[in-house]
């Protein structure tokens, strides 16, 4: 059973709320009919947002040549359409990729129900919108009430215009809805004045569609649908707050579906009932022995019906049962169903006499459940009768031989006279033929036996005349026996087949999983998976792994398959979204291949592709379950192998890191200890033995040891950056502190330079590693001290900008040679063209950049005009700033 | 008052020698130890007033010695520049202060003076602390700048008073947070930043130098 339990709201609702956090919001402008001004309203609303500073672009807006609307679009950036090639009409569709790349805050997408040109990524525009929402982009869209899936039938019933383009209700369930409403009379006025663009489907029934009554009904539907959305939202809210008990007295709706063509109508009706009751609902298919034998078309229809239910927001379930009524009763009791929707059975009067109608038995079988019986439309397909074995020509021959043998044996045993027991002997070929070769052979045997019995044993002998009417009964009995036995045998054989195929699938899976546990490398595993899929489903199979944003083909059965551009695009989409795409799915159907993801808790770890040489869909609907099992097992196995490999890598890396850390620590210790001694010794000497003559020597000793100290520090820092071994310790840091600390530490190196501090004390705190930032600042100040002449000012300034904080260190030195601004931060680049030899290794600025970028800061260098000098800037993006008011309130509490 | 005795614990003979020179010239008596074991026996025999402890010892982790020395002598740890975590751990364990290697003699002597002063002061706690133009009266809970009252919020006062009880000595973020906000806020360093910022502004132009930040470690008053 695969039902989603509708009665446990809290975790699911929370998950949904959590899932929606990163998602864009959809706002739908809902109209009763074309011409009410949805697009105009949408543009006006968007313009208001734009004025608030929201980044709005137009994805698709149809102005239908209306001047006011046209004028409104001009204030927005309009994304170029994508030109779809290969279609007869040149259709320009919305370019999702361009929008995703542009990443606006809000995009306007007119006509949500639009069907995209063939060859587009998704068949339907609302799927495009889904993808935009998933990328966190808000969407405004428009839709007319007759395009809403669950209202489609209702609208069609009174307007007699059925639109094929529908939008699933779930789109509206999660959206904000604004009804664009004008009174019907006004709309009719506008229509007469030619202000309404009339789409094709409405044009055909123009007079009728735009009648006053219709418009009123449509308007009511639109308003009701919007009100319902508000209710649903409130309900969602209640559920999120786990107040499950408060909703709608625990009504639960169940709709029974089968493969009948009318089943979708039942599903829509159930959805309306459930919405009215504000109840969760489930579409249930009871799988009986009879429904297991459905032909392929019926199975496809059934799957489509269940998919429709899911699309409309219902739960779906399939349960096995001896018969439909038992299944429904069991499920209803278990799921505490209060309302059942069933279609009126279209079985023959005879069938109902014999077995009683499903409805009758259902009403009798369930207590306390309201049963809604809906008349179902014409064209309902009867479930196919049990299909007997196909009789081959050789079977007739065998039957003939058997009858001949029986006749011969009887002739020998009894001689040519009438013996009553001879007719019994003819049961042997009839039963044998019916059992082994099916109904036709059985009947053939029956007829043949009857003829032979009549000819050889019934008086008058050797004629086909039957003298005694009693003997006619014998002939009839032989025929009836043939019919009954062949039916029974066919049924038994079918069950045996079913069991065998189930057992075979299980055996295949078991063998497969055994095979997978033995595999230890990814290529080997990929090969096994492809081989298994190719064998089980009789397809060509490939497997691809995502690697650095690309897909790498790692196995193909048969080998050497090349994928085309369309197929690769589909495969990439699957890798991105973790959902199937390609031929036979509902996305990127133009591809020849069907792609399924291998999903695990870590996301999509591989993509499996399938194709068939004969151009049919790679996967039959009934094979989906088996494929899912195979993919699940494959995903587990691949996950296991990858995790093992990663763990080995991690262990290796950790070991390497440990060695590196040890080396760094020991180098650091070995270099610093003698330095400390030298510094201390120099200080000692200066204190005890300084004379005017040797003071310059002490100064040199001093400054050179300082240089060596900085050099050692820089070398170690660089080693840490390049090893990627920076352990960040991010804390909120006061830039005034950071600057003061750095200035304190470089006070000797910059003794010749007046330092001007322009760091406002009220800047927000920033989240950085103070230690690393200290090094950045020291290197920048060091650099200024190195290149600027003594006596010139070094300025440290910080300013709040709209998108963060900029901190600059500016000197009055020669500036940067033109063209080196971008390269200045590269390792070992030292500025040439100065007549003085500069101290240093050229590591300083590389360290600034390495550390800054590790903390999420960016750096830039430029040359100032007046007074001339180099200007180094560090940007702290908005995201790193700490919002002080909140912290301050807490700090002072 | 006789000269204070200082125990220098370092495994590098060169450093011990130089530190001895510096300290002797400044008038202190110096005892040396090259291992943790030697340090412990020197602590018992020579009863130093202050221990200068390098945390990188060959026979034992320097941090383990801190609780053993604490209370018997003032303790200044010596540690490398970027080993902030080690410094904080040492201070939280009870070390009085730290110097960063490679250190210069002036700084070392200043720290030693502060350390020794505290050792004496802790026996008779001062009630009024004066740092530059600021006077902090710990008994009356009043802060004055050039005889003008400075109005502080309770948190700002607690912070300043905590620093004032140990003038010149570093207090770790955690020590300050515990004093002002209780142990639940050990890691909320941003609280300190906010308080320090407004405190500095209230203390006037010298605010920045009066309350000095020790990068990644803590704060010190009038360092």
Query: With contact defined as beta carbons under 8 Å apart, do A302 and A258 qualify?
Result: yes
User: Is it the case that residue A103 has pLDDT exceeding 60?
Assistant: yes
User: Is it the case that residue A391 has pLDDT exceeding 90?
Assistant: no
Cis omega (within 30 of 0) on the bond before B23?
A: no
From CA A39, how far away is CA A29, in angstroms rounded?
A: 8
What pLDDT does A75 receive? 80
Helix/strand/coil for A254: strand
User: Is it the case that residue A23 has pLDDT exceeding 90?
Assistant: no
CA distance readout (Å), A405 to A401, A428, A435, A443, A452: 6, 11, 18, 18, 11
User: Is it the case that residue A246 has pLDDT exceeding 50?
Assistant: no
**A678/chain B closest Cα distance in angstroms:** 9
Query: With contact defined as beta carbons under 8 Å apart, do B57 and B11 qualify?
Result: yes
Sign of the alpha-carbon dihedral angle for A809, A814, A819, A824: negative
Any B CB within 8 A of A884 CB: yes
Q: Which residues of A touch B215 (CB under 8 A)?
A: 737-738, 741, 770-771, 774
Query: With contact defined as beta carbons under 8 Å apart, do A809 and A781 qualify?
Result: yes
Residue A639 corresponds to which tokens in the numbers above? Answer: 């996950």
User: Is it the case that residue A229 has pLDDT exceeding 70?
Assistant: no
From CA A620, how far away is CA A568, in angstroms rounded?
A: 22
User: Is it the case that residue A19 has pLDDT exceeding 60?
Assistant: no
Helix/strand/coil for A453: helix
Q: Which of residues 694-713 of A touch B (CB under 8 A)?
A: 709, 713
Percent of chain B with pLDDT over 70: 93
Any B CB within 8 A of A888 CB: yes
What pLDDT does B198 receive? 84
Picking from B155, B194, B208, the nearest residue to A736 by CB comes out as B208
What would the pLDDT profile of A676-692 be if each residue is shown by its tens digit? 778 777 877 877 777 77
Sign of the alpha-carbon dihedral angle for A345, A349, A353, A355: negative
What pLDDT does A589 receive? 78
Query: With contact defined as beta carbons under 8 Å apart, do B217 and B100 qualify?
Result: no
From CA B30, how far away is CA B50, in angstroms rounded?
A: 10
Lowest mean pLDDT among A45-49, A250-254, B79-83, B152-156: B79-83
What pLDDT does A386 receive? 40
**B173/chain A closest Cα distance in angstroms:** 12
Any B CB within 8 A of A757 CB: no
What are the beta bridge partners of residue B218?
A: B172, B214
Strands A138-144 and A26-31: parallel
From CA A103, how far away is CA A110, in angstroms rounded?
A: 18
| Nearest Cα residue to A543 out of A608, A596, A593 | A608
Lowest mean pLDDT among A121-125, A500-504, B139-143: A500-504
Better-predicted residue by pLDDT, A70 or A20: A70
* Torsion (CA) A786, A790, A796, A797 in degrees, nearest 10: -130
User: Is it the case that residue A833 has pLDDT exceeding 50?
Assistant: no
From CA B84, how far away is CA B104, in angstroms rounded?
A: 19
From CA A166, how far away is CA A146, in angstroms rounded?
A: 8
Mean pLDDT across B87-98? 87
Any A CB within 8 A of B59 CB: no
Mean pLDDT across A108-127? 85
Kind and range of the H or E element at A556?
A: strand A550-557
Which DSSP state fits A120? S
What would the pLDDT profile of A565-615 be if each residue is shown by its tens digit? 888 888 888 888 888 888 877 777 778 888 999 888 778 889 999 988 777
Query: With contact defined as beta carbons under 8 Å apart, do A406 and A457 qualify?
Result: no
Helix/strand/coil for A808: strand
What pLDDT does B76 receive? 92
Query: With contact defined as beta carbons under 8 Å apart, do A384 and A293 qualify?
Result: yes
Lowest mean pLDDT among A490-494, A729-733, B32-36, B113-117: A490-494
Q: What is the pTM of this model?
A: 0.44
Q: Which of residues 195-234 of A touch B (CB under 8 A)?
A: none
User: Is it the case that residue A844 has pLDDT exceeding 90?
Assistant: no
Residue A748 corresponds to which tokens in the numbers above? Answer: 């000797």
Q: Average model confidence (pLDDT) for chain A? A: 77
Q: Provide the strand spans (E) within A240-309.
A: 253-256, 281-287
DSSP H helices, B79-184, are 84-93, 105-121, 154-164, 173-181
Any B CB within 8 A of A672 CB: yes
Q: Which residues of B touch A891 (CB under 8 A)?
A: 155, 188, 190-192, 194-195
Helix/strand/coil for A557: strand
Nearest-Å Rg of the Cα atoms of chain A is: 41
| Nearest Cα residue to A351 out of A343, A363, A342, A360 | A360
Backbone angles phi and psi of B132, in degrees to 5: 55, -130
Mean pLDDT across A862-882? 83
Picking from A668, A761, A762, the nearest residue to B80 by CB comes out as A668
From CA A268, how far away is CA A251, in angstroms rounded?
A: 17
Mean pLDDT across A668-674? 75
Any B CB within 8 A of A743 CB: no
What are the beta bridge partners of residue B53?
A: B9, B77
Picking from A669, A733, A890, the nearest residue to B191 by CB comes out as A890
DSSP-assigned states of every residue in A45-111: HHHHHHHTT--EEEEE---TT-HHHHHHHTTSEEPPPEEPPS-SS--EEP-HHHHHHH--SEEEE--
**A676/chain B closest Cα distance in angstroms:** 5
What pLDDT does B9 receive? 92
Any A CB within 8 A of B78 CB: no
Percent of chain A with pLDDT over 70: 81
CA distance readout (Å), A125 to A34, A577, A600: 18, 17, 29
- Residue B51: which pLDDT band, with cuts at 50, 70 and 90? very high
Mean pLDDT across A622-649? 82
Residue B108 corresponds to which tokens in the numbers above? Answer: 């070392």
CA distance readout (Å), A334 to A12, A252, A279: 20, 12, 16
Chain A / chain B CB contacts < 8 angstroms: 103
Query: With contact defined as beta carbons under 8 Å apart, do B73 and B95 qualify?
Result: no
Kind and range of the H or E element at B219?
A: strand B218-221
From CA A128, how far away is CA A121, in angstroms rounded?
A: 8
Sign of the alpha-carbon dihedral angle for A688, A692, A694, A697: positive
Instruction: Reduce the secondary structure of B3-57 to three states and give it as a string.
Output: CCEEEEECCCHHHHHHHHHHHHHCCCEEEEECCHHHHHHHHHHHCCCEEEEECEC
Q: What share of chain B is helix, strand, coil (3-state, %, to 5)?
A: 45, 25, 30
From CA A792, how far away is CA A755, in angstroms rounded?
A: 9
What would the pLDDT profile of A760-816 be if each residue is shown by its tens digit? 877 888 888 888 898 889 888 888 888 888 888 899 999 988 888 999 998 888 887
Q: Which residues of A touch B52 (CB under 8 A)?
A: none
Q: CA angle, corner B24, sides to B23 and B26, nearest 5?
A: 65
What would the pLDDT profile of A44-87 be if each residue is shown by its tens digit? 888 888 888 888 899 888 877 777 778 888 888 888 887 765 54
Any A CB within 8 A of B104 CB: yes
| Disruptive mutation site among A674, A676, A738, A744 for chain B (greatest number of B CBs within 10 Å) | A676
Nearest-Å Rg of the Cα atoms of chain B is: 18
From CA A568, how far away is CA A570, in angstroms rounded?
A: 5
Q: Which residues of B touch A673 (CB under 8 A)?
A: 12, 14-15
Query: With contact defined as beta carbons under 8 Å apart, do A733 and A767 qualify?
Result: yes
Mean pLDDT across A844-871? 83
DSSP-assigned states of every residue in A168-205: -HHHHHTSEEEEE---HHHHHHHHHTT-S---HHHHHT
Residue A606 corresponds to which tokens in the numbers above? Answer: 């591989």
From CA B92, how far away is CA A523, in angstroms rounded?
A: 54
**Cβ neighbour number for residue A730 with a 10 Å cutoff:** 14
A768 to chain B: nearest residue by CA? Answer: B216
**A731/chain B closest Cα distance in angstroms:** 7
> Which residues, 6+ apart, have CB-to-CB distance to A730 below 8 Å?
A767, A768, A769, A855
> Which residues, 6+ apart, have CB-to-CB distance to B148 below 8 Å?
none
Side by side, the strands of the sheet bearing A176-180 are A77-78, A56-60, A106-109, A138-144, A26-31, A176-180
B181 to chain A: nearest residue by CA? Answer: A891
User: Is it the case that residue A14 has pLDDT exceeding 50?
Assistant: no
User: Is it the case that residue B50 has pLDDT exceeding 90?
Assistant: yes
Picking from A732, A741, A890, the nearest residue to B189 by CB comes out as A732
Lowest mean pLDDT among A447-451, A469-473, A633-637, B202-206: A469-473
Cβ distance of A765 and B15 shorter than 8 Å: no
């Amino acid at each position: 059973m695969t039902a989603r339990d509708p009665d446990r709201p809290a975790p699911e609702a929370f998950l949904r709320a959590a899932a929606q956090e990163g998602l864009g919001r959809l706002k739908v402008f809902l109209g009763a009919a074309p011409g009410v001004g949805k697009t105009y309203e949408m543009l006006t609303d968007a313009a208001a947002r734009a004025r608030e500073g929201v980044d709005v672009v137009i994805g698709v807006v149809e102005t239908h040549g209306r001047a006011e609307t046209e004028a409104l679009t001009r204030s927005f950036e309009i994304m170029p359409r994508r030109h779809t090639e290969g279609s007869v009409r040149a259709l320009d569709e919305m370019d999702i990729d361009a929008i995703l790349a542009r990443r606006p805050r809000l995009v306007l997408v007119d006509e949500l129900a639009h069907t995209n040109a063939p060859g587009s990524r998704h068949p339907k525009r609302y799927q495009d919108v889904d993808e935009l929402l998933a990328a966190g982009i808000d969407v405004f869209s428009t839709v007319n009430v007759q395009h809403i899936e669950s209202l489609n039938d209702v609208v069609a019933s009174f307007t007699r215009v059925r639109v094929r383009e529908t939008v699933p209700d779930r789109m509206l369930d999660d959206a904000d809805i604004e009804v664009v409403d004008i009174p019907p009379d006004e709309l009719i006025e506008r229509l007469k004045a030619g202000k309404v663009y009339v789409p094709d489907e409405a044009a055909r029934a123009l007079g009728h569609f735009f009648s006053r009554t219709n418009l009123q009904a449509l308007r009511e539907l639109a308003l009701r649908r919007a009100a319902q959305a508000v209710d649903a939202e409130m309900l969602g809210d209640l559920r999120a707050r786990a107040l499950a008990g408060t909703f709608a007295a625990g009504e639960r709706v169940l709709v029974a579906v089968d493969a009948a063509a009318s089943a979708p109508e039942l599903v829509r009706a159930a959805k309306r009932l459930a919405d009215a009751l504000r109840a969760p609902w489930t579409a249930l298919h009871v799988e009986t022995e009879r429904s297991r034998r459905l032909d392929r078309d019926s199975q496809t229809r059934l799957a489509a019906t269940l998919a429709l239910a899911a699309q409309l927001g219902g739960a779906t379930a399939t349960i096995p049962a001896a018969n439909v009524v038992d299944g429904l009763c069991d499920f209803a009791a278990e799921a505490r169903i209060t309302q059942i929707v069933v279609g009126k059975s279209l079985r023959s009067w005879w069938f109902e006499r014999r077995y009683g109608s499903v409805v009758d038995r259902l009403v009798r079988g369930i207590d306390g459940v309201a049963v809604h019986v809906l008349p179902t439309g014409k064209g309902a397909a009867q479930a196919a009768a049990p299909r007997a074995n196909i009789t081959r020509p050789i079977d007739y021959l065998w039957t003939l031989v058997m009858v001949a043998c029986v006749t011969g044996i009887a002739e020998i045993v009894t001689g040519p006279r009438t013996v009553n027991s001879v007719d019994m002997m003819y049961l042997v070929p009839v039963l044998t033929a019916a059992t082994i070769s099916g109904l036709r052979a059985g009947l053939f045997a029956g007829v043949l036996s009857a003829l032979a019995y009549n000819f050889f044993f019934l008086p008058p002998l050797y004629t086909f005349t039957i003298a005694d009417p009693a003997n006619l009964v014998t002939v009839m009995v032989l025929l009836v026996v043939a019919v009954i036995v062949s039916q029974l045998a066919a049924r038994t054989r079918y069950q045996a087949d079913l069991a065998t195929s189930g057992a075979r699938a299980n055996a295949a899976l078991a063998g497969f999983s055994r095979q997978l546990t033995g595999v230890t490398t990814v290529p080997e595993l990929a090969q096994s998976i492809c081989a298994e899929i190719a064998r089980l489903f009789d397809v060509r199979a490939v497997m691809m792994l995502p690697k650095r944003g690309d897909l790498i083909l790692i196995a193909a059965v048969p080998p050497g398959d090349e994928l085309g551009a369309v197929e690769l695009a589909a495969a990439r989409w699957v890798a991105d979204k973790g959902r199937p795409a390609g031929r036979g799915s509902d996305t990127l159907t133009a591809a020849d291949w069907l792609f399924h993801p291998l999903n695990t808790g870590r996301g999509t770890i591989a993509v499996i592709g399938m194709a068939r040489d004969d151009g049919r869909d790679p996967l039959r609907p009934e094979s989906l379950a088996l494929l899912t099992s195979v993919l699940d097992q494959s995903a587990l196995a691949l996950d296991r192998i990858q995790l093992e490999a990663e763990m080995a890598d991690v262990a290796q890396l950790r070991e390497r890191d440990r060695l590196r850390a040890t080396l760094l620590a020991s180098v650091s210790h070995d270099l610093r200890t003698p330095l400390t001694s030298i510094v201390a010794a120099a200080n000692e000497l200066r204190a005890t033995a300084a004379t005017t003559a040797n003071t310059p020597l002490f100064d040199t000793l001093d400054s050179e040891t300082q240089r060596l100290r900085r050099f050692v520090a820089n070398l170690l820092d660089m080693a840490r950056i390049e090893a990627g071994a920076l352990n960040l310790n991010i804390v909120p840091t006061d830039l005034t502190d950071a600057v003061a600390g750095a200035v304190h530490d470089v006070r000797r190196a910059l003794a010749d330079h007046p330092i001007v501090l322009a760091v406002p004390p009220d800047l927000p705190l920033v989240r950085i590693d103070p230690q690393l930032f200290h090094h950045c600042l020291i290197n920048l100040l060091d650099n200024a001290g190195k290149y600027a002449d003594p006596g010139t000012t070094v300025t440290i300034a910080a300013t709040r900008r709209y998108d963060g904080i900029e901190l600059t260190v500016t000197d009055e030195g020669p500036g940067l040679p033109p063209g080196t601004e971008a390269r200045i931060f590269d390792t070992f680049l030292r500025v040439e063209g100065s007549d003085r030899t500069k101290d240093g290794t050229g590591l300083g600025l590389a360290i600034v950049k390495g550390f800054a970028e590790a903390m999420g800061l960016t750096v830039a260098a430029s040359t100032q005009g007046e007074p001339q000098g180099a200007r180094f800037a560090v940007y702290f993006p908005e995201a790193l700033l700490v919002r002080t008011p909140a912290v301050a309130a807490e700090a002072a509490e | 008052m006789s000269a204070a005795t200082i125990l220098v614990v370092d495994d590098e003979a060169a450093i011990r020698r130089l530190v001895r020179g510096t300290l002797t010239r400044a008038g202190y008596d110096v005892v040396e130890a090259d291992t943790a074991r030697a340090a412990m026996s020197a602590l018992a025999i020579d009863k130093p007033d202050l221990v200068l402890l390098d945390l990188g010892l060959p026979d034992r982790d320097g941090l383990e010695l801190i609780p053993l020395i604490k209370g018997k002598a003032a303790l200044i740890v010596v540690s490398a520049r970027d080993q902030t975590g080690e410094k904080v751990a040492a201070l939280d364990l009870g070390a009085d202060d730290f110097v960063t290697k490679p250190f210069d003699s002036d700084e070392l002597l200043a720290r030693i003076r502060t350390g020794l002063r505290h050792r004496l002061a802790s026996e008779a706690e001062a009630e009024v602390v004066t740092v530059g133009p600021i006077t902090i009266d710990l008994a009356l809970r009043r802060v004055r700048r050039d005889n003008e009252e400075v109005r502080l919020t309770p948190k700002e006062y607690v912070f300043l008073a905590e620093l004032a009880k140990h003038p010149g000595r570093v207090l770790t973020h955690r020590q300050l947070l515990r004093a002002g906000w209780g142990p639940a806020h050990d890691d909320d360093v941003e609280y300190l930043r906010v308080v320090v910022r407004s405190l500095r502004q209230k203390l006037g132009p010298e605010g920045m130098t009066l309350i000095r930040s020790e990068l990644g470690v803590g704060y010190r008053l009038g360092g």
